[in-house]
């Protein structure tokens, strides 16, 4: 490989270098300028829009059209200007915290952001809230030319909306039970305000990340939470005993009532049966008194003999049989 020595005069005056090229002596200064202008025109007439972008084409500062992803032509020399806007990208704004680097182990900034995260709830408690707002661009031209600083606009409106909504709820509702409801309300309210501004922004989500009391009152807040948890524990234990004892007592009471009802029914039925039996016997007695008396006597003696055990029939005139039976051993 060989290298040609460059003459310093060629660097000072490029036309001297061009004349030494093939056909260089046929090129004039005007031709060179025309060639340079043509090359600039060719290379500046093409532009590329990425797959997740939309190009906003302006001609002399006037909006012409929005171009889709791909290779396109435009008028060079600054007549046409193209501004690519990422319409498929989801932007995120963080409040109360900042992410330094995202990954498997996310690194957060240690700097406090109390000026944007401290707010007052409806029950006059102070809380430290962290939340995010995710949004997409739905109208590139409006975002570029109708709003001066879209990011600052979204941040200011988001702070205002969250503070307003938090003021309508108690501290415990913001902390636990009503977070999903607050997220939905904040998203709807933020979208409504941006639409009234014709901002060309579509809010994807608003989500409370973390809600805590401020650091100076954190110990007192923890003590209150512990007391509330102990209270809930005792209430749950009392309900457990209640749910065990009350059904048992109700069951026993129902059992006693049923037993009493059964006893009453049995007594009434027995009494009615005895009364009917007495009336039947009376009716039979009135028809044949001697026979009925004898039958009643025999029935009574039969019942007595069944309960007597051993039976001895002795002649009333007999005098010497009793010692033989050894009744003292019986």
Mind listing the pLDDT tens digit for each residue in 22-49?
Answer: 544 445 566 667 777 777 777 777 888 8
- For 50-125, where are the E strands, in sequence order? 53-59, 62-67, 70-73, 80-86, 91-95, 99-101, 107-108, 118-120
| Strand 46-49, strand 70-73: pairing | antiparallel
Contact 74, 45 (CB under 8 A): yes
**What integer pLDDT is reported at residue 9 of this predicted model?**
47
Neighbour tally for 80: CB within 10 Å: 18
- Give the number of C-alpha atoms closer than 13 A to the C-alpha of residue 228, restricted to the C-beta side: 7
- Regions of the chain where pLDDT drops below 70: 1-32, 309-330
Could you tell me the two tokens for 261? 């009802």
Q: How is domain 91-213 classified at the architecture level of CATH?
A: 2-Layer Sandwich (3.30)
**What integer pLDDT is reported at residue 163 of this predicted model?**
92
3-class state of residue 265 by DSSP: helix
**What integer pLDDT is reported at residue 315 of this predicted model?**
66
**What integer pLDDT is reported at residue 3 of this predicted model?**
47
Residue 108 zone, left/alpha/beta (φ > 0; ψ -120 to 50; rest): beta
**What integer pLDDT is reported at residue 10 of this predicted model?**
46
CA-CA distance, 180 to 168, in Å (whole number)? 14
Contact 143, 199 (CB under 8 A): yes
Could you tell me the two tokens for 272? 């009615």
**What integer pLDDT is reported at residue 2 of this predicted model?**
47
**What integer pLDDT is reported at residue 17 of this predicted model?**
52
Q: Which of 91, 95, 183, 94 is nearest to 137 (CA)?
A: 91
């Amino acid at each position: 490989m060989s290298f040609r020595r460059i003459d310093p005069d060629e660097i000072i005056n490029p036309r001297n270098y061009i004349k030494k090229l093939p056909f260089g002596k046929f090129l004039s200064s005007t031709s060179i300028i025309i060639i340079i202008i043509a090359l600039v025109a060719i290379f500046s007439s093409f532009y590329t829009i990425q797959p997740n972008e939309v190009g906003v084409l302006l001609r002399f500062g006037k909006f012409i059209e929005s171009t889709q992803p791909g290779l396109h032509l435009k008028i060079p020399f600054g007549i046409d200007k193209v501004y690519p806007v990422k319409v498929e990208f989801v932007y995120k704004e963080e409040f109360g915290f900042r992410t330094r680097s995202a990954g498997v182990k996310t690194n957060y900034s240690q700097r406090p952001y109390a000026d944007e995260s401290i707010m007052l709830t409806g029950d006059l408690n102070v809380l430290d809230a962290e939340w995010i707002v995710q949004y997409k661009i739905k109208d590139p031209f409006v975002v570029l030319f109708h709003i001066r600083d879209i990011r600052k606009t979204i941040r200011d409106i988001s702070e205002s909306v969250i503070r307003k909504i938090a003021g309508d709820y108690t501290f415990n509702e913001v902390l636990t039970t009503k977070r999903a409801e607050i997220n939905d309300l904040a998203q709807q309210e933020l979208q409504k305000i941006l639409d009234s501004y014709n901002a060309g922004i579509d809010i994807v989500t608003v989500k409370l990340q973390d809600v805590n009391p401020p650091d100076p009152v954190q110990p007192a807040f923890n003590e209150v939470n512990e007391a509330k948890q102990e209270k809930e524990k005792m209430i749950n234990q009392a309900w457990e005993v209640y749910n065990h004892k009350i059904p048992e007592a109700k069951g026993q009471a129902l059992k006693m009532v049923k037993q009493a009802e059964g006893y009453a029914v049995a007594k009434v039925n027995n009494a009615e049966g005895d009364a009917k039996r007495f009336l039947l016997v009376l009716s039979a007695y009135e028809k044949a008194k001697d026979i009925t008396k004898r039958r009643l006597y025999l029935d009574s003696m039969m019942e007595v003999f069944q309960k007597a055990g051993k039976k001895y029939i002795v002649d009333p005139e007999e005098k010497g049989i009793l010692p033989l039976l050894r009744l003292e051993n019986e």
